[in-house]
Chain A
């Protein structure tokens, strides 16, 4: 009935990020880090993987002179 889940999502942090983003319109990198409890480095790697697979969209901008990364589900 259902297709097999992409192995890319068989990883705790990536699945957490996807579950989180499915529930909201968009979220900042810091918000995702707080919610998942991941380290910034690890989260950054996993977000890039999800973005490469086009599961999520990553928008980079600036907020009060600080870089701001916003993620949303494609």
Chain B
């Protein structure tokens, strides 16, 4: 670019502004990795819990020990992504606060599990729905918003069923809310990267 060029035409100014806006837009891509990571972990834990109950194992809830493992993976992944992040968008900042609100709500539900009893899983799905719907709205991605709505519907349904069926509903909720939208998002991301290879380096999630 030239060092000094004092007068620009309106068209030229607009072209510059537009090209800069477009170039940052391409970085607002989510490759779906967080949705896939947690979707598969929760899904696996549901299946394992259900299976262990089926075979009559004494402590089937040990299946949820997968969650701390996910926590450690997330911590490492988050640190690595933070280090390579060259730009912080307004969406990043907004999503950071939504994530905090989501995690606090989730931990309150998990912390009061003994008091909540059979209402625990429906409330977890309700909090998932909240997170998915907002994420889908912010990145303008319909499958996530639909996933959020499905989570809410399944949360209502889960209030009326036994624990075993609640496990099945939670597994379905993460499959439809996290895993499937996660793969669609990944597909979309890969396609976009193929079209514009340079923009992939600064993907924000």
Contact = CB atoms under 8 A, between A and B. Distances in A.
A and B, one complex? yes
B8 A15 contact: yes
Contact of A11 (B6, B20, B87): B6
B83 interface: yes
Contact of B1 (A24, A25, A38, A63): A38
Interface string B85-117: 011111011000000000000000000000000
Interface range for A:
20 to 34
A55 interface: no
Nearest to A17: B20
A12 B1 contact: yes
Do most interface residues of chain A lie in helix, strand or loop, or is the interface mixed? helix
Contacts of A39: 1
Contacts of B24: 20, 23-24, 35
Contacts of B6: 7, 10-11
A63 B6 CA distance: 36
A42 interface: yes
Interface in B14-70: 16-17, 19-21, 23-25
Contacts of B198: 34
A64 B79 CA distance: 13
Interface in A3-40: 7, 10-13, 15-16, 19-20, 23-28, 30-31, 34-39
Interface of A: 7, 10-13, 15-16, 19-20, 23-28, 30-31, 34-39, 42, 45, 63-64
